[in-house]
Structure 1
Amino acid sequence: MALASANARYDKLHKDAPYHDGTFTHWSKERGPGHPFHYRDGVTVWVTQHNLTPDDDWLNDLAKTLGLRVLEGDEQGQERHAE
């Protein structure tokens, strides 16, 4: 279930502009010569029980933007939902 949730979040993140220029920095709604790559091209989404990059806060930044609850890390580096 965690993997399905991660995939759904990744899909939602790229819903409005799914094509990029190969650098993952310039995005477009339509595929074209300047944006030939789909956001799923060359990407593997996976999950782990432990936070491998505790300083990377991209999911929480997205959650804040979308007005969702923010995750907090516990002492073991695992994540849980904030109340």
Structure 2
Amino acid sequence: MSPQQDFQPTRGLADIQRLFALKRPCKDCPFRRDVRGYLGRDRIESIIEGHQEGVPFFCHKTSSIPGYHVTDRRVRYCAGYQA
């Protein structure tokens, strides 16, 4: 099933709570403080710019398919980014 066919927008408080369900960074999180990061300078700068504009940053394990948005019920905010 394609991401477009599988898309389900947020519907209520439970969906919003799911966005914040990740409590700890995953072992591959580029924002972990105990391992060396792997993001390039350009990518880091684009993430910072997005943050300043209010663009959410999703966990790479929940948003690996391009086109996911904050209203997609499968994505979760990145716990490492939020820390």
> TM-score if structure 2 supplies the norm length?
0.21
**Larger Rg over CA atoms:** 1
Q: Compare the two structures and name the one with the higher helix fraction.
A: 2
Q: Compare the two structures and name the one with the higher strand fraction.
A: 1
- Identify the structure with bigger relative contact order (alpha carbons < 8 Å, sequence gap 6+): 2
